[in-house]
Structure 1
């Protein structure tokens, strides 16, 4: 899975010249919307009438909005035809296989243009890449 994800991300970046999830989603024709999704839902991905949508909770900090966009983009690229919700309780406490894959995709995408500096901790590296620190505990590279 990881080699496939890395190759997929390299291909996206090479084609669209960015690793910004918002720019990639736009380039891929995915509509991004912001809405109040309640206390536990950070974002969701769905298809309707052959149109693809990412909806991001509008009260999240910018770092989380970026991560959620990358996560939902992971669902679009990795899980064709499946609409998935990125639910806080599932992502933090018992992430399913598809959620773990989308999280790994998001982390790989957001860190694709960065190399760890000598002596830099994973915590510092993720912070510099804009990956929410909560992901550090679940997805150590």
Structure 2
């Protein structure tokens, strides 16, 4: 499944020449709304009568908004028939298949073309800090790097 998710992310990036989840959502005709949400909700992905709506909590900083939007985009593409709420982006709360797949999509999108062989433990930690991604999410892309 990981290879399929990577192919889907790479295909979108190649087709639209961007890995920005907000731009991709716009190209795909999805509606992205940045709005205040409850403190423990980072984002919501909804399918409303064939319209995909991705809500992102306006209280998040820019990088967290990117992560939440990428995660929501993953749900919108991989799980078209479901509505999901993304709780606590830094702590993968719902460890079900859909959440793992959306996290995997987000990482593939945000770290497009990064090679795992370049990453050692200290570099993974630096990448986590630089890209503002938590280590458990990085494990989807680089499973044996730390």
Both structures adopt the same fold (TM-score exceeding 0.5):
yes
- For residues 1-141 of structure 1, the aligned pairs below 5 Å read 1-88=1-88, 91-115=91-115, 121-128=123-130, 130-132=131-133, 135-140=134-139, 141=142
Which ranges of structure 1 fall in alignment gaps of 5 or more residues?
none
Q: Give the deviation of 1:16 after TM superposition.
A: 0.4
RMSD: 2.2
User: What is the number of residues matched between the two proteins?
Assistant: 138
Query: What is the TM-score normalised by the length of structure 2?
Result: 0.84
TM-score (ref. length: structure 1)? 0.86
SS of alignment partner, residue 23 of structure 2:
helix
Alpha-carbon distance in structure 2 between the residues aligned to 1:57 and 1:19? 20
Distance in 2 (alpha carbons) for counterparts of 1:115 and 1:11:
17
List gaps (5 residues or longer) in structure 2. none
